[in-house]
Structure 1
């Protein structure tokens, strides 16, 4: 469901009581937390109970499980997730009562009022990790920023907080055009790789959205020179008068350059050259793509005026984000990780990182495609990326906001896997037993996808802990 962005966005403190439809999601829970910490009366509902709901309740936020028009009694403003459908009873009631009904992007924008300096982290891949890394870097440099991240970051203990300093680090989502409304002081663009074509309609329109986003930035832009799309908008940003900071592994073209990259199990080490000085950086996450994210975060920290050494120290505290190659446990000699990767580029990057973790052991990929439209467009490429594993299990498509299409199924992906054995294992409920039947001690299993595939790992571990039952 798409709700129009309002003509005027009031500061959060002027919204009265705010109700969030879909408060259990990463995006809305972050906004709700920050509003509550700033003294706004907030509440919300979600279709299902979750650990997020429990955590919000522990913080004093009223959360309903299930949606009902009665939840809007006494409410002035309703903020809704894009995953909510038009016939949701709370949406219907909000419209019938003439309440202020906003999309998520407007709720987040209401928190960006002056004198706050907002840094927005945009890009197709790596937004959550880079936002978390930048926040950790700033904390390491002695700052107390506000932040809104698309997943919980263990090093920070949460996905969002209202800080005391006038700096606000936000993950800027392009999937529904939200990032076009933020007008940040500074921005990071991690990369531009066609996605969300159900929203944008074409690759050209998707790429143009990033041009439009950069046109809203007021002061500086940090980009990855290794990504052609990001490099292209860097040229336009310079022409528009923005300060541009470039990062990458080519010192001849990057302002902040990485070198001597070493990935050892779950650790990544590299040297970083900044303004002629060389620094050592050790990250507690594995993979070259995470090193690039760290360089981007370092670039934004420098653009904000913080010194290099404490920023690097802060980056060293980052140990991942929920569902970003998150270690879930080990049972029966099988290690299980969980990843939010759902685009072919993300699948390839995380499986390459998982291969480094697995070493000589077998790598088993358990993938849940997200959205019919994305599977229709990228199904073949998803299968190619999954071919990096030694065994592949593909769940049914997670529909989210779309209806099923009998011509678009998970078999499209399985048919494109080249090399390793691959099969469709059905639902989230059926997948753990199916995977347990084929794994063996020493294997590394990675569950991947943006839906509820995250439930498969814990269930698999539970089965492996009881092999005789």
Structure 2
């Protein structure tokens, strides 16, 4: 049976598919949940599995999506089992072998696609902005989406984080009969070469540092994948590339460079006033003066320059750029202020690569000169800790005091000799210690804290609320 969906995303008058039911294996992932929200917005029957309940899965349930936390086949809603031809299974590569629902879907002949394949299908006929990079892509893509939305451009967005402005990782465009009127902003993920399903009209590449070496093996292979990505920019398209990246030979698109200080798009007159970054954006058409960013960080200034370049190419005026950046509130866990007052600052950040940590802590230092910085870091992945141990050590030395949690394994098994203690021994700090998550609150209660930062991409975020409550308790008395 063929089913026609008419609706907002894509701006198409209609698209036809035999799928009526969409089941997500790993629905609680940030990218998967954005896709689930797209399908539910288009009237599909959506359900999914994830290993544990989280605030994100609870939000999805409140939006009408059935979610199970056991991989038993009998937990799949019966409507998804009646006719396999009407059900699409979307899965994440992080699902381990032996998953019972996945084994069942394969055995029964269901159509099964990775998240990246589905995203490529959804965006293939849209005017797409693809934002890629080993770091910076979540903030930059959310900035692009906000600049467009604030300027009245009809856009949809699939993002890798929860935006503070909109409280979601998915933005839905307004209904339209004209596909060309809709701009789709997509975070283009290099993990597992996922971004190679995309063919953007405009692309931004923020960074190509070595990462995901468990997938790529070596840095050169990762660079080749980025070159493949930019080679897929549509004819007549544009690549906004951070100055110094070696990707231009991989594309026929117009190439424009940006950075903090060099390139066709750059900053000038950068200063810090009242813990806010203020700067001018120099661009080929002139200068946008006195841009005020409520989201701090040198790296975020650079991300803002890239986002502004793309937005201007899409018709956003310079005055709208200034206003949009001033109202941009950031992404959860990206330089997110938890507490900010005269006596205490607590910031949470997702940084999990040495370059990201260095950028984050350098910005904290610039914002709060002379103040004592306590950092709690949770390494993410055994392979990443092993491959970049020296870089992690150097970046973490920017703190005054460091507490190191155990490595968060995510999809990996332990590697002999790769531990937090191994990393701790490389860090040249007098005030440093390994600590268990359950001991963090008691330890912090014994200390005088001026600036506290929590850093990492694992489950360290579960400590944020308890830490904040503990720190605020003396203030309430």
Question: Normalization by structure 2: what TM-score?
Answer: 0.88
The alignment status of 1:74 with 2:79, answered yes or no, reads yes
After TM superposition, list the pairs within 5 Å mapping 1:369-448 onto structure 2: 369-426=379-436, 428-437=437-446, 439-441=447-449, 443-448=450-455
> How far apart are residue 106 of structure 1 and its match?
1.4
Poorly superposed stretches of 4+, deviation over 6 Å:
none
The alignment status of 1:167 with 2:183, answered yes or no, reads yes
- 2:272–2:367: 8 Å Cα contact kept in structure 1? no
> How far apart are residue 434 of structure 1 and its match?
3.1
The alignment partner of 2:191 has SS state of coil
Aligned to 1:119: 129
How far, CA to CA, are the matches of 1:276 and 1:146 in structure 2? 27
2:49 to 30, 45, 51: 45
- 1:372–1:405: 8 Å Cα contact kept in structure 2? yes
The alignment partner of 2:67 has SS state of strand
The alignment partner of 2:79 has SS state of coil
2:20 to 10, 16, 20: 16
The alignment status of 1:92 with 2:108, answered yes or no, reads no
The alignment status of 1:262 with 2:283, answered yes or no, reads no
> How far apart are residue 184 of structure 1 and its match?
1.4
- 1:368–1:394: 8 Å Cα contact kept in structure 2? yes
1:30 to 34, 39, 42: 34
The alignment partner of 1:143 has SS state of coil
How far, CA to CA, are the matches of 1:420 and 1:303 in structure 2? 49
- 1:393–1:435: 8 Å Cα contact kept in structure 2? no
How far, CA to CA, are the matches of 1:122 and 1:312 in structure 2? 24
2:94 to 83, 86, 104: 83
> How far apart are residue 366 of structure 1 and its match?
0.5
2:241 to 223, 229, 248: 223
> How far apart are residue 403 of structure 1 and its match?
0.6
Aligned-residue RMSD, C-alpha: 2.1
> How far apart are residue 151 of structure 1 and its match?
0.7
- Which structure 2 residue ranges, 5 or more long, are not aligned? 1-14, 81-86, 175-180
CA change 1:279–1:386 in 2 (3 A) is same
How far, CA to CA, are the matches of 1:61 and 1:266 in structure 2? 41
1:23-46, CA deviations, whole angstroms, 9 ceiling, x for partnerless residues?
122111111111211222211122
The alignment partner of 2:402 has SS state of strand
After TM superposition, list the pairs within 5 Å mapping 1:1-12 onto structure 2: none
How far, CA to CA, are the matches of 1:282 and 1:117 in structure 2? 29
How far, CA to CA, are the matches of 2:342 and 2:94 in structure 1? 37
Question: Normalization by structure 1: what TM-score?
Answer: 0.90
> How far apart are residue 290 of structure 1 and its match?
0.6
Aligned to 2:12: none
Aligned to 2:211: 195
> How far apart are residue 291 of structure 1 and its match?
0.7
> How far apart are residue 332 of structure 1 and its match?
12
1:394-430, CA deviations, whole angstroms, 9 ceiling, x for partnerless residues?
100100110112311011221121134111113x333
Aligned to 1:457: 464
How far, CA to CA, are the matches of 2:196 and 2:141 in structure 1? 18
After TM superposition, list the pairs within 5 Å mapping 1:199-348 onto structure 2: 199-218=215-234, 219-225=237-243, 228-229=244-245, 232-237=246-251, 240=252, 242-250=253-261, 254-264=263-273, 266-280=275-289, 281-329=291-339, 334-348=344-358
- 1:117–1:184: 8 Å Cα contact kept in structure 2? yes
> How far apart are residue 102 of structure 1 and its match?
1.6
- 2:124–2:198: 8 Å Cα contact kept in structure 1? no
1:297-322, CA deviations, whole angstroms, 9 ceiling, x for partnerless residues?
11111222332221332222111101
CA change 1:334–1:272 in 2 (3 A) is closer
Aligned to 1:7: none
How far, CA to CA, are the matches of 2:90 and 2:440 in structure 1? 34
> How far apart are residue 330 of structure 1 and its match?
6.4
CA change 1:343–1:74 in 2 (3 A) is same
CA change 1:14–1:340 in 2 (3 A) is farther
> How far apart are residue 14 of structure 1 and its match?
4.4
How far, CA to CA, are the matches of 1:292 and 1:99 in structure 2? 44
1:32-69, CA deviations, whole angstroms, 9 ceiling, x for partnerless residues?
11121122221112211111122112222222233321
How far, CA to CA, are the matches of 1:149 and 1:67 in structure 2? 27
The alignment status of 1:360 with 2:370, answered yes or no, reads yes
Q: What is the count of residue pairs matched by the alignment?
A: 445
> How far apart are residue 334 of structure 1 and its match?
4.1
How far, CA to CA, are the matches of 1:156 and 1:457 in structure 2? 21
> How far apart are residue 156 of structure 1 and its match?
2.3
> How far apart are residue 135 of structure 1 and its match?
0.6
2:196 to 158, 180, 186: 180
2:113 to 102, 115, 118: 102
